[in-house]
Amino acid sequence: MVIAGEAETGIPDDKRFAVELEFVQCLANPHYLNWLAQQRFLDDACFLNYLRYLQYWKEEPYVQYIIYPHALKMLDLLQSPEFRAAIVNPAYKEHVHSQQLFFWQHWRTNRLHETAQLKEVLATPADTCFACTKALHDGLLCQSMRSSLVIHGSA
């Protein structure tokens, strides 16, 4: 992805950075996405190109500035015509919003539960592996760790 510079946009890089960051983070709000859909922005080819351009925010070093990680997920979802068509529906907007709230409410509890399961699995030396031990030491639980739990739990 080529990131436009001041020569192409006519806007100083620092100002464009701030504006694009703020816009990307606004995408975490399902009510804002619904408004964009109702105003037909999500039907505009130029706007969709802009959303594709903004994908660079998912990569280093830009991703470190994102405060609301759901914004990046929404940016991905907006690439889908099905999601763009669905988000215009107020009931679907509320569904997305409730799922977001559910995630926020239970994320920490679920991670604590997974950590306890992982510690239990790693308590048996035969089930330990370098990746699991390192991840536990680093306090990380990613998708590969969840897969490891299934593998070790079934051993």
DSSP labels, the chain: -PPP-HHHHSS-HHHHHHHHHHHHHHTT-HHHHHHHHHTTGGG-HHHHHHHHHGGGGGSTTGGGG-S-THHHHHHHHTT-HHHHHHTTSHHHHHHHHHHHHHHHHHHHHHHHHHHHHHHHHHTSGGG--HHHHHHHHHT---HHHHHHHHHHHH-
| pLDDT of amino acid 102 | 80
Domain segments of the chain: what residues? 13-125
- CB neighbours (10 Å) of residue 113? 11
Q: How many CA atoms lie within 13 A of 112 on its CB side?
A: 5
Residues 6+ apart with CB under 8 A from 141: 111, 114, 115, 118, 135
Q: Would you give per-residue pLDDT tens digits along the chain (155 residues)?
A: 566 676 676 788 889 999 999 999 999 999 999 999 999 999 999 999 999 999 999 999 999 999 988 999 999 999 999 999 999 999 999 988 888 888 777 766 777 777 777 777 666 555 455 555 555 555 554 444 444 444 443 43
**How much is the pLDDT for 72?**
93
Please say whether the structural domain 13-125 has been given the CATH code 1.10.10.1340. Answer: yes
